[in-house]
A and B are shown apart, each in its own frame.
Chain A
């Protein structure tokens, strides 16, 4: 019986566990290890066993103390993650509810439209916004406003009312990609609510707003929890769109960098010396912050209650 049970567990858990270990746990261990080495310029042979203790973390603290760009990156990360998360979750929820109340044949096209940013390759999508927010008259937004007579000369949106201009672009571009995720999860969750609830509510004379407040939101609260945590962690680590907007000069160089982009820039970008040990230390800090934030969110939103077995007290 015990062996049977072991076998069953291994059979079902094994593949998932293997994937988690190979693609998450081992890289994480490697990253943490690298952060204690002097690894640089990809010279694995020379630096793999060149242990420098907490040196890289000390350098990070030194940066945080004295480098203004570094502090800006921290502030930008907090603002970017917080605001984009709200946009993603609330935007996704709003879209899901709106499309739920629409007729299915219209709603499906509408939802498809919102998926476009996610389906478009990152470079193409970012290029689109590069030209949209371009600081000269060749930029679409400037062009439209110039033609409409709203502005007299092109505006450099990335530098506009710093750091608001840059933050707005970052949040707008990433928010547009993010809402579709929440929309899909929430929409399917709402669709799975038994129809009788809505029918009964309607018979009782409930308005759409009451239905949303009293039926939809309480019934999909676990989905809300999941999307919030998931999106928060991915926003904390995302850098692809931000990288391109930063490199192409759409956003300001002082305020357009988030922590994850900083990690990337330390490890890959500079011409000359590349400091993978330092980048690994910054990445480790990011993982720790992500884990703490994730745990806090799960606790606040009551994850424990979600996974307790139903008591069956009908």
Chain B
């Protein structure tokens, strides 16, 4: 009896499993069907009947390099095919002042629509969903997970470093041909060094959105306390006369003499990108003769870790630096001059003005610094050379506009008309980089402009005054204008513009870590290694070997990363 019951149960279970599997199979098989129906009939309200002759009459011509001609041609082509509206979604990220990474597209759509209106074309571009995340990698992570489900944003603004992974998987639109059409016109004045950040295996997958440098901030009050001239130190660092050994010496003097609590403060949470400057400053490179490989120079890595180790052992940098809180510890320590040096970024300059990191000693009020106070407080230089004979450096990791390989997928007749939809997406990111928009973004967020025309505009006093007064009549989109009024009033200050101009020279010294899928895991190992040496859990040699061990423990990394050089014997650094 018991046996029978068991068998019966098994039969029932088997039957149910079968039903579930069949149901799942039927569901998956029929999933595509509604989409096809939607594509054919979808958004009926937006489509107008078009005769075949009309559609044939307007052909999609090759891009000319003239935005007006191109958008009119694309719009007429779509209109002739019965489509009068194209929808796109955009997702950007960054510090609170960098909202151009979404509103740039909103404004670009408005500018393209204005052209179409002027030309009497019955077509409109709609940016139907904009999303801005504080976490810089958020749009990329969301994009990565939602692409296979066809739920991703059409345009994202994220760090260039995602390009290799996304391009490899076929998630990004290859815009090489589109960009080539505009190389002689709109893209002519882009800084040359930036093209490497959007090119993967010879193809262009994005347009630069902004870039930055990472200065070493030198606290003037601390240097005054020591009897030094901060700008003199900055000059000596820039010329290569002062190296990290000198910076450590001055930092130690500051701490020993009670002029500051700490010697050198830097970022938390990761080694990339700020701390990777150490690697470059000691002559390390990630590229070599084989373009498919990533190179790791052990000597440069060891020397970097030796500096961090010495900083923490001498009480100049907190042992738990990588765990510090940005808003409660890192920025308040810097703006209150409790450190002699800070390894930071250009955007700190305006962040210190808009965020309330500073506690006023007189009133006890927490507030942002004024532009004048920031100027009084900070001198800045390149990231110092690692040792005599090496060069000072900086590091940029441009933000870029990427377009999904499925861009425009929400629109009618996508399969037939996707080339036109892709071109519109490209023109959107192209227009989002109009010189005035790039200049505004650079000024309000303290990033370095990606093109010369924007840099020139920052010299235009009339333009800057308008911004400072909150007069943003250059914007066509009310939504975009409203988003910038307050930020512009706060940050469009001559001091900030002067700062930006004065750091642009740093781009000549910049390094852009390579677009290689193995770079990110390697940067994670760097983070662990830095954490270990800061805490004294490992010596620089042990931490260097740890990185090597981690690479060798992963067969895929071991194959793609080539280790060169060796740990130097007898090399030491101390303040």
Contact = CB atoms under 8 A, between A and B. Distances in A.
Interface of A: 5-6, 9-10, 13-14, 17-18, 21-22, 25-26, 41-46, 58-59, 62-63, 65-70, 135-136, 138, 156, 159, 162, 248-249, 253-254, 270-274
Interface size class of B (residues with CB under 8 A): 35 or more
A13 B13 CA distance: 9
Nearest to B516: A272
Contacts of B361: none
A163 B165 CA distance: 35
Given A6-B12, A63-B553, A66-B549, A135 B323 contact: yes
Contact of A159 (B144, B147, B537): B537
Interface string B319-350: 11011110011000000000000000000000
Interface in B134-163: 137, 140, 144-145, 147-148, 161-162
A274 B142 CA distance: 13
B347 to A, nearest CB: 20
Interface of B: 5, 8-9, 12-13, 16-17, 20, 24, 137, 140, 144-145, 147-148, 161-162, 164-165, 169-171, 318-320, 322-325, 328-329, 517, 519-521, 523-524, 528, 531-532, 535, 537, 546, 549-550, 552-556
A21 B14 CA distance: 11
B9 A13 contact: yes
Given A43-B169, A135-B320, A253-B531, A272 B12 contact: no
B143 to A, nearest CB: 10
Given A9-B9, A13-B9, A67 B323 contact: no
A46 B554 CA distance: 23
Contacts of A249: 320, 322-323
A137 B298 CA distance: 36
A90 to B, nearest CB: 33
B528 A253 contact: yes
A62 B555 contact: yes
Contacts of B147: 42-43
A272 B148 contact: no
Nearest to A156: B320
A68 B549 contact: yes
B523 to A, nearest CB: 8
B144 A270 contact: no
A116 B325 CA distance: 27
B20 A270 contact: no
B148 A70 contact: no
19 contacts: A5-B8, A9-B9, A13-B12, A25-B17, A41-B144, A62-B555, A63-B554, A67-B553, A136-B318, A136-B329, A159-B535, A159-B537, A249-B320, A253-B528, A270-B520, A271-B162, A272-B517, A273-B165, A273-B521
Given A9-B9, A70-B553, A138 B16 contact: no
A272 B553 contact: no
Contact of A66 (B5, B148, B553): B553
A5 B318 CA distance: 72
A41 B169 contact: yes
Contacts of A63: 553-554
B546 A68 contact: yes
B16 A42 contact: no
Contacts of A10: 12
- Most B Cβ at <10 Å: residue of A46, A62, A273: A273
Given A41-B165, A272-B162, 6 more contacts: A9-B9, A43-B169, A46-B169, A271-B520, A273-B520, A274-B144
B20 A21 contact: yes
Contacts of A21: 13, 16-17, 20
B12 A254 contact: no
Contact of B165 (A22, A68, A272): A272
Nearest to A43: B169
Contact of A67 (B16, B140, B550): B550
| Chain A interface helix/strand/loop/mixed | helix
A136 B268 CA distance: 14
A44 B148 contact: yes
- Most A Cβ at <10 Å: residue of B9, B140, B320: B320
B352 to A, nearest CB: 21
A272 B320 contact: no
A17 B517 CA distance: 44
Nearest to B147: A42
B330 to A, nearest CB: 12
Given A43-B148, A273-B517, A156 B161 contact: no
A59 B553 CA distance: 9
A111 B528 CA distance: 42
B32 to A, nearest CB: 13
Contacts of A17: 12-13, 16
B324 to A, nearest CB: 8
A156 B169 contact: no
Nearest to A10: B12
Contacts of A270: 520-521, 524
Contacts of B137: 271
A249 B323 CA distance: 6
Nearest to A5: B8
B20 A271 contact: no
A70 B553 CA distance: 9
B23 to A, nearest CB: 10
Nearest to B268: A249
Contacts of B8: 5-6, 9
Given A42-B144, A135-B320, A14 B165 contact: no
B169 A162 contact: no
Contacts of B552: 66
Contacts of B318: 136
A159 to B, nearest CB: 6
Given A9-B9, A21-B17, A273-B521, A69 B550 contact: yes
A138 B328 contact: yes
A44 B553 CA distance: 27
Nearest to A58: B555
Nearest to B16: A17
A270 B137 CA distance: 11
Contacts of A271: 137, 140, 161-162, 520, 523-524
